[in-house]
Copies of this chain bind each other. A is one copy, B any other.
């Protein structure tokens, strides 16, 4: 039983964008190079949003151009629109990641468009990115709950997935943006999703707000999912509750998977060194269990 599991490291984007301490371009490059060396096969390195939208990621082009590209690693970036795509193509990113929310209110607050305005915008990005030879990933956020609307209709999620796949998206990441999913809900959602889409094209993106992320990953694995998003050390935290956990921590996920006998291709010692590096730069303890243990030993 040596099944392979794949981690999509989103720390440099989803993690850093929620950290206040500004990390220099050089340090980001160093960190991403360490992530590449750890054996991760996928790193979302930045977001090509407007410069003043997320100050932490305003150096996205320099970061993307500055990193050492390791063979076998796919380097991805978040791309909100055609302007962002220009920069992503200039940086010769491997994969273009588009995003939207399954909740109308969350989509409006996050993207400043309705869902029906968002879809054609993403379609043009996907179409131009495909023409440029890029692979595509689609994020659907608030799948398991919305901070403004509460419950989200799973059929809305399915409709959006159908749209995104029709735009040529290679993989869809279903996001539990506020970390409210529970294993039974994961089972219910995946049962419906898997009736319509191939499991190998679905990734799960859990946040650990209520501590259920590893349980949700376990349930997803039981359901046949093999691709998971995570942020090293739990970097980034939760924008909705500053003391709470954010993205599930890559080091905790990898540790559980390895302990269970799964292969990830990731070297835990190198991953740990990369976590210590970024922890020293953000100047506060990372929240993952692996880091809490190692911090306590010092």
A-side residues, CB < 8 A to B, are 180, 182-185, 208-212, 214-215, 217-219, 238, 241-245, 249, 252, 255-256, 259-261, 285, 288-290, 292-293, 295-297
Inter-chain pairs besides A209-B293, A211-B252, A211-B289, 14 sampled, C-beta below 8 Å: A182-B259, A183-B256, A184-B259, A184-B260, A185-B259, A210-B252, A210-B255, A210-B256, A241-B297, A242-B296, A243-B285, A243-B292, A244-B293, A245-B292
Q: Does B243 contact A209, Cβ atoms closer than 8 Å?
A: no
Interface centre among A182, A208, A219, A245 (most CB of B within 10 A): A182
Distance of A293 Cα from B241 Cα, bound (Å): 6
**Nearest B-chain residue to A285, judged by Cβ:** B243
Distance of A183 Cα from B216 Cα, bound (Å): 12
**Given A215-B218, A218-B215, A261 and B293 touching (CB < 8 A)?**
no
Q: Which residues of B contact A244 (CB under 8 A)?
A: 289, 292-293, 296
Q: Which residues of B contact A292 (CB under 8 A)?
A: 241, 243-245
Q: Does B243 contact A208, Cβ atoms closer than 8 Å?
A: no
Q: Does B209 contact A245, Cβ atoms closer than 8 Å?
A: no
